[in-house]
Amino acid sequence: MEYKKVAFSFSKIEEYQKDLLIAELADVGFDTFEDTETGFDAFIIAAEFKETALNEVLMGFGDELQYTYLIHDIEPENWNEEWEKNFTPLIIADKCYVRATFHEPQPQYPYEIVIDPKMAFGTGHHQTTTMMMEYILEMDMTGKMVLDMGAGTGILAILASKRGAKQLVAIDNDDVCYESAIENAALNNIDNLTSLCGSKEAIPALEFELVLANINRNILLDQIETYAKVLKDNGTILFSGFYETPDLGMITAHCRQFKLKYVDHKKIGDWVAARFVKGLEG
């Protein structure tokens, strides 16, 4: 599968403007973003890239931003070189060390996750993934059935397994992500993770105590009803991949229709991760 990289350079950009632009790019299909010295790189599956959609996003900012961008084709064989240049080890909440296969272990941390992306996104570096991992580190995972939607590399499901989850189903609509989750589970000696390729229709007829969904607002709004159907009463859903305003309010309102009550949320910049519980009164 081929990808495109759009390399943005800015003469000046405020952090809130950057977050807004990334959120808008995510809504038109861009999957991940890497900071650079002059801006950031945005990645998208080549078949999903439409330069008209990109230009519409940029036009929405009017004269607020001064930028240039270059579009690059990334062949699959060049992906490892691309992410190795940018991948640095990551520490989450002083408890979880995320590294690539070419980094040295750090046994002082309670949890270590080894990730080999192979063009699948989800290394923990994006704010949304970081917040989801923080939630997983805070919650009791013991014996839980876990569904991970938009799983990417499988990093969230892998951490949940290391925290004691009983069984995990990781689903992504990209076949590269499907294969990456399998390979990363093996790298981390995880034997209770099932990786499936598809979307909400691929969710098996099981009941889950925890649903993880780090995707984007529009897909979440479309799939929340399905998540609620497979979530046990008093089960938890962790959502991320969206902006605080107006997305969190829209998602909260939609969740109420399916007896999913907002509990709390985390925030990094203007990105949020939010926790909902099924069947709470009020």
Same domain assignment for residues 148 and 29: no
**For the chain, give me the number of helices (H) and strands (E)?**
8, 14
Alpha helices by DSSP H, listed for 45-149, are 51-59, 79-86, 127-138
Same domain assignment for residues 68 and 120: no
Residue where one domain finishes, among candidates 82, 108, 134: 82
- Please state the φ and ψ torsions of residue 140, each to the nearest 5 degrees: -80, 115
Same domain assignment for residues 119 and 204: yes
Residue where one domain finishes, among candidates 82, 113, 143: 82
- pLDDT number for residue 31: 74
- pLDDT number for residue 217: 87
Q: What is the mean pLDDT of each run of 10 residues along the chain (282 residues)?
A: 88 85 86 83 88 93 90 73 71 94 91 78 75 97 97 94 98 86 95 96 96 91 96 97 90 96 92 91 50
Residue where one domain finishes, among candidates 52, 82, 112: 82
- pLDDT number for residue 282: 45
* Count of the separate structural domains present in the chain: 2
Same domain assignment for residues 218 and 203: yes
Range of the structural domain that residue 237 is part of: 87-278
pTM: 0.77
Same domain assignment for residues 76 and 93: no
Same domain assignment for residues 104 and 70: no
Same domain assignment for residues 96 and 46: no
What CATH number is associated with residue 118? 3.40.50.150
Same domain assignment for residues 91 and 77: no
Q: How far is CA 71 from CA 49, 75, 113, 211, 220, in A?
A: 10, 13, 32, 36, 29
- pLDDT number for residue 35: 80
- In the β-sheet with 90-92, what is the strand arrangement from edge to edge? 90-92, 96-99, 111-114
Give the side-chain half-sphere CA count within 13 A for 176: 13
What type of residue sits at position 21? L
Same domain assignment for residues 157 and 207: yes
Same domain assignment for residues 204 and 226: yes
Burial class for 8, CB neighbours closer than 10 Å (0-12, 13-18, 19+)? buried
Same domain assignment for residues 111 and 177: yes
- pLDDT number for residue 83: 62
Q: How far is CA 6 from CA 17, 49, 55, 120, in A?
A: 17, 10, 12, 17
What CATH number is associated with residue 76? 3.30.70.100
CB neighbours of 123 closer than 8 A, spacing ≥ 6? Answer: 83, 87, 90, 98, 115, 117, 129, 153, 155
Same domain assignment for residues 257 and 121: yes
